[in-house]
């Protein structure tokens, strides 16, 4: 079987902006701060078109960094908040993914990412342990706004 190698890059605002919005507190001024905590408001503001669902993707190391399929949503943003370090495989493209735009982006625990509509993606991948990632999107996305394809040449993430 032939694989397309994707080198893992550390995610930042520049290399991820074509796919969505990086959520982190770097270079953000707190709205409130005292000796016990700081509060950073409005990292991102999004409008959802229906009730939202809070779900979990459980990622296993046994996937070995292989990406066999990609999916996208036409009308829905997808918010991902991992409880550990993950790798996001993302690509642009309308009806099919543009393989030339594909990236593997390392998202560390404590950060989040909002995937824009029409961005091809796979479930979060883990490198060294089981990781839960909270998924927030319109409650009917999995039923009515999910488009998925099997890749002829699967991706394999590389450090």
pLDDT tens for the chain, residues 1 to 159: 789 999 999 999 999 999 999 999 988 999 999 999 999 999 999 988 899 999 999 999 888 899 999 999 999 999 999 999 999 999 999 889 999 999 999 999 999 999 999 999 999 999 888 999 999 999 999 999 999 999 999 999 998
Q: Specify the number of domains making up the chain.
A: 1
Domain range for 10 is: 3-158
Query: How much is the pLDDT for 144?
Result: 95
Query: How much is the pLDDT for 128?
Result: 82
Query: How much is the pLDDT for 145?
Result: 96
Phi, psi angles (nearest 5°) of residue 121: -155, 165
Is the pTM higher than 0.85? The answer reads yes
Query: How is 35-98 classified by DSSP, letter by letter?
Result: SS-EE---S-----SS-EEEEEEEE-GGGTTEEEEEEE-SS--EEEEESS-EEEEEE--SSS--
CATH of residue 92: 2.60.120.480
Q: How far apart are CA 118 and CA 75, in angstroms?
A: 8
Q: How far apart are CA 146 and CA 76, in angstroms?
A: 9
Considering only the C-alpha atoms of the chain, give the largest distance between any 2 of them, rounded to a whole number of Å.
56
Query: How much is the pLDDT for 1?
Result: 72
Query: How much is the pLDDT for 62?
Result: 83
Handedness of CA 26, 29, 31, 35 (dihedral sign): positive
Q: How far apart are CA 122 and CA 155, in angstroms?
A: 10
Rg (CA), the chain: 16
């Amino acid at each position: 079987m032939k694989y397309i190698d994707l080198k893992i890059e550390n995610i930042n605002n520049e290399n991820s902006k074509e796919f969505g919005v990086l959520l982190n507190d770097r270079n953000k001024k707190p709205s409130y701060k005292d000796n016990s905590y700081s509060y950073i408001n409005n990292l991102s503001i999004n409008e959802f078109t229906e009730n939202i669902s809070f779900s979990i993707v459980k990622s296993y190391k046994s996937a070995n960094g292989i990406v066999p399929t990609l999916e996208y949503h036409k009308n829905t943003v997808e918010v991902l908040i991992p409880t550990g370090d993950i790798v996001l495989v993302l690509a642009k493209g309308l009806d099919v993914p543009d393989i030339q735009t594909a990236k593997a982006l390392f998202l560390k625990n404590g950060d989040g990412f909002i995937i824009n509509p029409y961005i091809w993606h796979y479930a979060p991948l883990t490198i060294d342990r089981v990781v839960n990632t909270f998924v927030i999107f319109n409650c009917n996305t999995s039923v009515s706004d999910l488009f998925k394809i099997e890749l002829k040449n699967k991706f394999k993430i590389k450090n």
